[in-house]
Amino acid sequence: MNYYPAQRVGNYRLIRLLAQSRLAEVYLGEHVDLKMQAAIKILRTRLTTNNQESFLTEARSISSLSHPNIVRVLEAGVEGNMPFLVMTYTHYDTLRQCYPAGTRVPQERILSYAQQIAAALQYAHDQKLIHRDVRPENMLLGPDNSVLLTDFDLTLTSQSSFSQSMQDMMGTVIYRAPEHLKGQPCPASDQYALGIVIYEWLSGDVPFHGSFTEIANQHMFTPPQPLHEKIPEILPAIEEVVQIALAKEPKWRFANMRAFAHALEQASKLDQPPLEARTFYVNLSSPLNGKIDSVAHSVAEEKHRQTRPDSSTTPPPSLLMGQQVNRQRPPSSYPPIWRRILLVTLALLVTISGIGGLVYYTARHPTLPQTQNTSTSQVRLTAQAQTAQARGTTNTNVEATAEASATAEAEVTATAESNLYAEATQGTPIIDEALSQNIGNQWDENTSSRNERCTFTGGAYHIIEPQPGYTYPCFANGSTFSNFAFQVQMTIIKGDVGGLVFFADSAHTHYCASILNNEGNFAFFCYVNSSSSFTVPSNSVVGQKSPQPNLLTVIVHNNRVSLYVNKQYVGSIVLSLFSSGGEIGMVAYDIKQPTEVAFSHAQVWSL
C-alpha cells in the first residue's frame, strides 16, 4: 500500500495508521473541510471499470444501515482503482482485545453481547444484507457494555480473499459456516458464526482446531464437542440453543437471528434443577391461526409397562387437547415405578416479540434410571404464531408492532418449513406401503388381554383401544430410523385420538408421538422409560374433524423433529434424549370412549 500520513483519499486527509492486514489498511482520517474525524478503510485490491460500480452499489447498501449496534459507513469511493470506505471513528477496543483467545466470558455478559449482535444482524438481514465475517475482531465494546458490529464483508473482498495466504484466512475460517465455505453464504451463515463465538465465550475455546483445510472439513462434517464436556456446569438449555445454531444445514438452525436471541435469553433465565431431576424445555407458541389460551396443570401417576401383548399405557395427562381424562389405576399386577406422585407443572411466558412463550416442566424421580444420560434431558417445541397479542401493556403501537413482527416471522418460518417438507418427501421412499396387509416391515398384529388390537382389516391397518384411560401403540419391529421422514394417512373411525409414533426403543419402553384428536386438535407426546410422560398441548384446530382423514408427517434430522398435518407446518422440536433414533409406528388413545383408528399409505424417506 502506498498511502502514508498526510496523504489524501477522497475528501479525507490520512492522519495515522490504525490497523492493517493483507486485505486492507485502516487509517484515522479527517475531512478536509468539515474537520470531522473518521476511519478510512482502504482495500488491498485493484478494481476494473466493470467491478467499480458493483463495489459502489454494495457499499451504498451498507451505508444505508442505521442501527445503534452497527458502525456507520459514511461514504465510499475509488481512488486510483483502489476502493475505500469511510466509517464512523470509534476508539473502542474489539471484543477480541477485551477477551483474548482462551478467555471465558461471564454468562450475563454473553447474553448481553449476543442480544445486541443478533439485533444488529437481524436488522441487516431485514435489509437483505449478510455480514459474512461475524467474529470478535469485528465487534467493538463501547460504554455501558454496548457492542458495535463493524466490517461487513463485501462480495469483492470475499472473492479476492481466496488469493490471500491460508494464514490470513485462519482467523475467518474458524467462524465460517459450511455453506459459506462452499461459496453460498446466507443469513443463517451469520447465525452459525455467532454460535461459534458464543461457544468460544462459554468454553474459552473454539470448537474446531487444525490447519485451514482441517478446520474447513470439521465445519462440514464434524459435530462440535458437546459444551457440557468442557463446562459440566453449563445450563442444558443454553447448550441446546448453541447446538441448534451450529447445525450443519442452514434449514436446521433457528428461523432467524431474532428467534436465536430469544431462545438464548429464555434458556438463560430458566431456574433449572440439578442433574438428578429430569427436565424438558419446550418453546411453544400456538401453531397456525390459533393462540394459546390456557396451560393446564396435571398430576399423574404412571404405571410400569409390561412386555407385549399387554403393552398399552395410560395416556398423557389431561392437558391433552384440553380434555379431562378418566384416569384408571393400573391393575395391582402392574407395580408403579414410583411411590410418590409425579407432579407435572407447566408455566407459560408470552413475550411481545411474538416469538412465543417458553414452557418448562420437570418430572422429578427418587432416582434416575441407569440409562439416563448425565446431562439433563431436553425438549424444545418451536412453532411460530401467525398472530400474536402483546400482553402487559396498553400501548397499541407496541401491540401492533408485536403482531406485525410475529406475522412476518411466521411467514419466514412457514416458507422454510414448507420447503423442507417438499425437499424431504420428493425422493423415492424406502418404505411405501398401502397398509392393506403385513408385507415386510413386521407390523404388530396382536390382541391384548384387554382386547386392544393391532390388525389389518378392510384394506387398512387398524389400532383398537377399548379401555378408557389407556393408549395402545403398534410398531414396525426390527427397523430403526434416525434421519428420516415418516408419513401416514390417518382416519379416526370412532373415539378420541390417533397419531404417529417414532423414536421407540426395541423394548418399547419409550417413544414420542405426533397426535390429533377427533376435533382436529394437535399435540405432541413422549413416553419415557416406562415411567414418565410429557406433553405439549395445542388448542388450535390444525386437522380435519373425524371421520375425515388427516395426513400426518414427521421429519427428523440430527435430533430436530419437524411436524406437519396435511402438509402444513405445525412445529419443530429438538430432542437430545433420543439421539440414536428408533422404531416407528402408530398409536390410538382412548381418553373417554372406545377408540378405533385406521392407518393407510405409510411412507418413509431416508434423509
- The DSSP string of 30-56 is EETTT--EEEEEEES----HHHHHHHH
Instruction: State the pLDDT confidence band at 525, using cuts at 50, 70 and 90.
Output: confident
| 232/216 Cα distance (integer angstroms) | 27
Instruction: State the pLDDT confidence band at 457, using cuts at 50, 70 and 90.
Output: very high
What are the φ and ψ backbone dihedral angles of 209, each rounded to 5 degrees?
-135, 160
Check residue 408 and give its pLDDT: 53
* DSSP state letter for 409: H
Would you state the torsion angle of the CA atoms of residues 265, 106, 577, 285, taken in this order, to the nearest 10 degrees?
0
How confident is the model over 69-76, as a mean pLDDT? 94
Check residue 323 and give its pLDDT: 34
How confident is the model over 550-565, as a mean pLDDT? 90
Predicted confidence (pLDDT) per residue in 196-252, tens digit: 999 999 999 999 999 988 999 999 999 999 999 999 999 888 998 999 999 998 988
How confident is the model over 424-438, as a mean pLDDT? 93
Predicted confidence (pLDDT) per residue in 255-273, tens digit: 899 999 999 998 887 554 4
Predicted confidence (pLDDT) per residue in 315-369, tens digit: 443 333 333 333 232 332 222 222 221 222 222 222 222 222 222 222 222 222 2
Check residue 2 and give its pLDDT: 57
If one compares 4 and 9, the residue with the highest pLDDT of the two is 9
Residue 75: strand, helix, or coil = strand
Residue 454: strand, helix, or coil = strand
The three cell numbers of residue 59 are 457499499
Instruction: State the pLDDT confidence band at 4, using cuts at 50, 70 and 90.
Output: low
Stretch among 71-75, 493-497, 554-558 having the lowest mean pLDDT: 554-558
In the block, cell 421429519 appears at 555
**Where is 282: in which H helix or E strand?**
strand 277-284
| 232/253 Cα distance (integer angstroms) | 24
- Out of 166-175, 180-189, 357-366, 566-575, the most confident range is 180-189
Check residue 360 and give its pLDDT: 26
- Shortest CA distance to 403 belongs to which of 489, 311, 291, 326? 291
- In the beta sheet, which residues pair with residue 435? none
Percentage of the chain beyond pLDDT 70 is 69
**Within 10 A of 472 (CB to CB), how many other CB atoms are there?**
29
Domains of the chain: 8-88 (3.30.200.20), 93-269 (1.10.510.10), 277-606 (2.60.120.560)
- In the beta sheet, which residues pair with residue 590? 470
Tell me how long the chain is.
607
**Within 10 A of 434 (CB to CB), how many other CB atoms are there?**
12
- Cross-sheet strand order for the sheet of 139-141: 93-94, 139-141, 147-149
The three cell numbers of residue 60 are 451504498
